[in-house]
Structure 1
């Protein structure tokens, strides 16, 4: 009897990943086989059992799916195969593939699924907004013949006189602009929603967003911080930049420290000398927490286009939608409504000071972040 466990080169965090098992019966008779795979401890799954009948000299394969919720190294134990004949009087145990290691990276599957947004933002799918282009950016692309629907304000009169028919200037989104994902890895980002921490939601979104920005020919970089600067990858538009970002995001982790926004401001001022688009992933649960950090956010926004991305508390939102039946439930609902209202006030407070804001449910983070980026590019704000 031979068996093999085939693992992908790496797992994608928060996505279904396929594991394939192949078993080859080299006996000259049909066998009954029970397969027990020792799945990594992170999954807390101890009931794996697959029963098969394998004809003589035949090979059978099957697969199963695993969904990791945390980045890092996962170790598979033994692949145990118990073999018996049709009488089932005795079983023989075979052991294969001891201690296989696989690394779980930020969600590259989600990144690939959202890859098309870099090519066409006019696709009408659920969750994807059409962006109204307000004016145009001033990066010249070419002169072309006028067709109905072109903006008459872009008519090139010299080219029109030379060719004896209407010609217009065509513009494109400005390219090679520096774009940074700034990830707050402080204790507030440890909060879990649907099994995944806010930090991992932010990391998955940063990877998908960086891929789209690179396809749009912008320079992308990342920065992570808590009580110190953990990671700083300077913006670049090279093809290898996405792999560097993925490796850097793999190592981002959170402790239980308060985030130092004054340190963030000093590092941004020192290292990011050109005006850049800064997508800051953070979270505030109370207005007082925002007020403490607002002076630093305003200082950063003076020299850069800052977008503060923080999270709706979806559990609180669910509480506000329940039908209450007693005083205790009514009190809980009142508190939940106050939390939801505070989030909206925070967004308005940031906007009042000229800071772009995105308040989003965790599960919609990636698509909403990319939409915000496409809107900024379309409006030529950077």
Structure 2
């Protein structure tokens, strides 16, 4: 990471030239509507037009390119100094090839068509996927009932799409040594309890309860297949008019146990329960629609995914409240303290459905 070299873009003309290079087109034929950094600031994302088509382009800035796991499992320790990286040329090839693989495996459904790439320009271009992000739809669902209905329809299709990709790319089964993984997670949790003891201990309790319910069974098998790697609400777009789903962003795709994608989506939905302005009933209906679309799933995988998703609310989201001041400044820190004082207890018992004695078993 210390040897990283970041590209600095020189304005809109530079952006147009890079996109034109990826398309093997004249610079004058490319029209840019807007561009800006992505959330990680590792790439610049652009939208515009070329030969009558709407396009979306991604210009990678960092070389090597960091690829941290988006939804880290609790037994995976995270060290900021050892984030996995890929050479930028390898990353461009990976995103390009994974897009083509997803197109093939899904029968051409719901995946934006790649239009061009350039290793020299560090750029990949796709047809633009129109529609509303499901994150935005969920946040507006309280005020617009149509958004709630549309999201449920979208997640029904998303579940079906994901199941199709998993089944078409399956490469055998992988044994999940559940007890060993959970015990590792609990051990890591206890190491961090000095800084976030209440939240980490609640995450441990959730995982311990799941182990206890399993009884003597220590392991189970999970299909191994091509996974999206970041299958969350922000990467799912929905066009209500044509009832069209678009799945985007394959930079973290790879072969893994399929629970990884299931965990990512369910964990994202469970995190939305922390926002009291989003109706709980809508979140629950969206989750139900997703599982209905995904189809029959073993009770072991279902319980495993749901326990991991609920635990993540505590070991990741709640724990971040304690560092919000450092990350967001004084106002952010005050807001976090107000949330913890006035909302946290009700969120845990009424929206996450944990018993009061568990929620209050540890004092912060």
TM-score tier by shorter-chain length is under 0.3
TM-score by length of 1: 0.25
Larger radius of gyration: 1
Higher helix share goes to which structure?
2
TM-score by length of 2: 0.25
Larger relative contact order (C-alpha < 8 A, sep ≥ 6)?
2
Higher strand share goes to which structure?
1
